[in-house]
Each structure stands twice: as structure tokens, then as C-alpha cells.
Homo-oligomer: A and B are copies of this chain.
Amino acid sequence: MTAESGRPVTVVIADDEPLVRGGLRLILDSEPDLEVVGEAADGSEAVAQARRLRPDVVCMDVRMPGVDGLRATELVLRLPDPPKVLVVTTFEHDDYVLDALTVGASGFLLKRASADEIVQAVRTVAVGQSLLFPEAVRSLVRGGRGAAARYAGPPLTPRESEVLGLVAQGMTNAEIAAELVVGLETVRTHVASVLGKLGARDRTQAVVTAYRTGLVEV
């Protein structure tokens, strides 16, 4: 709906293998309407690059050291005006395909895809379409996984979950302290670590994540 109009599509490549990054860059940069503006070797770097460079598309490898592609995808999509995430994978039937869709990936790209298919895939997600494996679609159509919208990331401690639940009710720290019969500072500590684990900047973002990932009931 809003592409092909002047400015090239900007891309950030996130893959731990330099060879793959190089290959992708070669393929994408050879297209006049695509421009690789950055690379990242792991998940956290990918998020940083996405935040800094604000690309249209992030080609994200799933298997990366440290913060993996799935978690990185979540974080990237939480940025303001987030880029589209194109998950790069080796096999089309892996488990994380559905997980990636759940966290909001726009599409998938097989590493063995042809150069044409790769540039097409980038263009496709850039204009806002979703690009899936037919297997994934079938799986989704017939119900995919049950209901629960899983949350990856670092696990929350019981107390943290409790606090997040109350935050997601719209309570202030003082109210939560009263509710849990603990000190205000304690609540502050829990909230702080929840924010850290969720990758949220403030309680509002934490609430957004909580609702979107099903960490709390709607």
C-alpha cells in the first residue's frame, strides 16, 4: 500500500554467521530499491540496531547466541514504529514458527531460498503483507496451538508475577504495597525487575506486553 514510492526499503540483517550476513547483504544490496543499513551478530545487537537505524525490515535469524531471534523479535516489535521482522530459518517445520507468528513476525525466509525469493520476501513484508509457509497456515487454520499466548523471556518470580498482575490492573505502587502488605520500596524493586525482564521502559509498556503475551488475563 505504501511502498515502491521513492525511498528504498531499509534492512537490518541479524545473523550470528558472518557468511550468511554477507550473502544476504550481497543479494539485497544488488537491488536498487533495497538497502542494507546495518548488521547484527546477536539478538541484543539486533534490537539496538533496529532502535538506532529504524529500518523498514529486520531479517532475523532464529538461532543466535545470547538473546535469540524470537526474543529479539519481541523486543524489536515493541519499539515505536517497529520494523517488519522477517524470520530467517533453515527448516520450515520448526516449532518456533508459530511462536514467531505469535510474537508478531511478518514472515519467514528459508536459507535455501533463491536470491529472487529472498528479495521478494523482503519487499513483501516491507509493504505490510505476511509471508508464511503453507504448513504454518494450515497449522494455524486447524487451531494451531491451544489458546495460551506464551511468553518467552526470562521467567518471572512468583512475587513478580503477582506485582505485574496488579500493575496490569492499573494500580499504583503505593496501592500494590498496601494490597500485598509490603513496603513501597519493595514494590518498586519488583516493578523494576519486571520491567527489566519484559524489556519494558515503564509500567505502561509492561502492561501492554502483559496483555499481548497473555501474561495476564484480559
The docked-state distance in angstroms from the alpha carbon of A218 to that of B147 is 12
Are A140 and B144 interface neighbours, CB within 8 A?
Answer: yes
Residue A12, interface by CB 8 Å:
no
Note all chain B residues with C-beta closer than 8 A to A110: 1
Which residues of chain B are within 8 angstroms of A106 by Cβ–Cβ distance?
Answer: 134
| Residue of B whose beta carbon sits closest to that of A213 | B218
- Chain B residues lying within 8 Å of A124, measured Cβ to Cβ, are 120-121, 124, 131
Whether the Cβ atoms of B140 and A129 lie closer than 8 Å is no
Asked whether B205 lies within 8 Å of A170 as measured between CB atoms, the reply is: yes
Q: Which of A169-194 contact B (CB under 8 A)?
A: 169-172, 175, 179
Given A113-B1, A140-B140, A80 contacting B179 (CB threshold 8 A): yes
Contact mask for chain A residues 75-98; partner B; CB cutoff 8 A; 1 contact, 0 none: 000101100000000000000001
- The residues of B that contact A101 with a CB separation of less than 8 Å are 137, 141
Task: Please tell me if the beta carbons of B143 and A136 are within 8 angstroms of each other in the complex.
Answer: no
Verify B200–A211 contact, CB threshold 8 A: no
A127 sits at the interface (CB 8 A)? yes
A4 contacts across to B, CB distance below 8 A: 114, 116-117
A30 touches B (CB below 8 Å): no
Which residue numbers of A lie inside 8 Å of B, CB to CB?
1, 3-4, 78, 80-81, 98, 101-102, 106, 110, 112-114, 116-117, 120-121, 123-124, 127-134, 136-137, 140-144, 147, 149, 167-172, 175, 179, 200-205, 207-209, 211-212, 218
Known: A207-B207, A207-B211. 18 other contacts (CB 8 A): A3-B117, A4-B116, A4-B117, A98-B141, A124-B124, A124-B131, A129-B131, A131-B131, A137-B140, A143-B143, A170-B200, A170-B201, A170-B202, A172-B202, A203-B204, A204-B204, A211-B211, A212-B218
